[in-house]
């Protein structure tokens, strides 16, 4: 199929991506399609639908629009999501919750190079860049995956099978953890887990001040866009001034590192109140557009490489689970923290709160805050994992 003429220019390409995102959410809101989007969430469609369109020739596989979106919209969106994070609330979760979350992250960091060492002979050249990007998704979610993938230069064709692994293996693990919730009381008794901490955590959550959103105004929008794109552009400029360090740390990697650091600092200032005007909603919309632009550059035929990546992903999840199990045993942590800490890493903010609420209905905020912690550290942790994978790859 020949490419449509009105999509030849960058503006047409960018418009098509925005329309596709709108179409996805329109369909997700239809009751008759609720089952489809329950198992394949909109963020997966945001990647695969543009990939299908580019493979069919409807969208171009390369366009200046894709580069502009990645290098300008990604830093701005990431800054908004981090800037409005309630980091003090995360710190109030307590050492046991945070330790379990970090144990899962360490399992991902160590599991990446171990998995690459086991499967390297069957994986395509440069597979370490794909595993590094997947580490970003499995420590905090798709936001980190996009940041790391662009930072280390993961080719779109290599990213395609990893998106499949992320969705299929990640959600299969999610389903297993949900099933495990039926036996949590028996498991906790068998392991002599200390469940008193869950009650204490419930009490602490009651003291966390909830910030209520309000209808967005033109002034809110002006402030949010000015801060996001202004500081994002500043980080791009500063990133070009820093020296490259090996295969991992380049100018755009420095940009993402600076964006994360500045966002975390701003989260302790009144800038965090921009969330009342919808800052995170704009940030997530930007991430969806970035994801769509990356999907449009991918080749569906790369999914044929997925079988080996599937096996690698399963082994990686097992290593991650072993680290969590060891930490839970040492801390006498209930299975609630094992499951929530795992999905706060693997699924991020989309499945962390769901997992927490399945195990303890009143503790959904714990899953959210643990997932946000993963989002905050995910970029740095995934870059470390990518560096270790690069060492293994030689």
The number of C-alpha atoms within 13 Å of 224 and in the hemisphere containing its C-beta is 25
| pLDDT in single tens digits along all 394 residues of the chain | 445 555 778 888 999 999 999 999 999 889 888 878 876 778 778 878 888 888 888 888 888 999 899 889 988 988 888 888 777 766 666 778 889 999 999 999 999 999 999 998 888 888 899 898 899 889 977 777 878 888 888 887 778 788 878 877 887 888 788 788 878 888 888 888 777 766 665 565 455 445 455 677 888 899 999 999 999 999 999 988 888 775 556 787 788 778 878 988 898 898 888 888 888 889 888 888 988 887 788 766 665 656 888 899 999 999 999 999 999 999 888 898 899 899 889 877 667 777 877 787 656 667 777 877 887 888 889 899 999 999 998 7
Instruction: Tell me the C-alpha distance between 110 and 140, whole Å.
Output: 16
- Distance (Å, rounded) from C-alpha 23 to C-alpha 51? 15
Rg (CA), the chain: 20
Q: What is the rounded (10 degree) CA torsion for 249, 288, 172, 372?
A: 70
Please name the residue ranges forming H helices in the chain. Answer: 10-28, 34-39, 42-55, 64-68, 74-83, 87-91, 95-119, 127-137, 142-152, 156-180, 184-190, 196-206, 218-241, 251-266, 279-296, 306-331, 335-346, 352-359, 364-393
Check residue 57 and report its DSSP letter: T
Contact predicate 346/70, CB 8 Å: no
């Amino acid at each position: 199929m020949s490419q449509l003429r009105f999509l030849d220019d960058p503006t047409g390409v960018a418009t098509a991506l925005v329309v596709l995102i709108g179409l996805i959410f329109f369909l997700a809101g239809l009751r008759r399609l609720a089952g489809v989007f329950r198992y394949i969430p909109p963020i997966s469609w945001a990647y695969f639908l543009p990939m299908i369109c580019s493979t069919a020739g409807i969208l171009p596989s390369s366009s200046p629009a894709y580069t502009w979106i990645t290098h300008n919209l990604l830093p701005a969106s990431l800054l908004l999501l981090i800037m409005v994070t309630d980091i003090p609330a995360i710190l109030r979760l307590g050492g046991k919750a945070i330790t379990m979350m970090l144990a899962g992250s360490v399992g991902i960091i160590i599991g990446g190079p171990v998995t690459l060492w086991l499967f390297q002979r069957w994986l395509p050249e440069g597979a370490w860049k794909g595993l590094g990007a997947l580490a970003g998704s499995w420590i905090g979610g798709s936001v980190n995956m996009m940041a790391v993938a662009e930072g280390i230069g993961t080719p779109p064709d290599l990213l395609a099978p990893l998106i499949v692994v992320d969705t299929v293996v990640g959600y299969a693990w999610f389903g297993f953890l949900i099933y495990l919730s039926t036996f949590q009381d028996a498991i906790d008794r068998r392991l002599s887990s200390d469940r008193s901490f869950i009650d204490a955590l419930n009490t602490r959550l009651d003291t966390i001040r909830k910030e209520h959103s309000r209808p967005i105004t033109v002034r809110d929008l002006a402030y949010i866009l000015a801060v996001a794109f202004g500081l994002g552009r500043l980080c791009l400029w500063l990133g070009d001034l820093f020296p490259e360090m090996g295969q991992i740390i380049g100018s755009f990697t420095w940009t993402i590192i600076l964006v994360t650091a500045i966002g975390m600092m701003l989260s302790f200032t009144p800038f965090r109140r921009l969330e009342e005007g919808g800052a995170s909603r704009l940030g997530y919309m930007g991430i969806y557009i970035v994801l769509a632009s990356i999907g449009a550059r991918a080749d569906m035929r790369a999914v044929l490489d997925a079988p080996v990546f599937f096996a690698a992903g399963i082994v990686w999840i097992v290593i991650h689970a072993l680290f969590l199990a060891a930490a839970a045993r040492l801390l006498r942590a209930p299975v609630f923290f094992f499951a929530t800490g795992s999905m706060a890493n693997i699924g991020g903010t989309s499945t962390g709160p769901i997992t927490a609420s399945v195990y303890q209905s009143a503790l959904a905020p714990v899953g959210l805050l643990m997932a946000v912690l993963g989002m905050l550290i995910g970029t740095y942790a995934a870059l470390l994992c990518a560096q270790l994978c690069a060492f293994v790859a030689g």
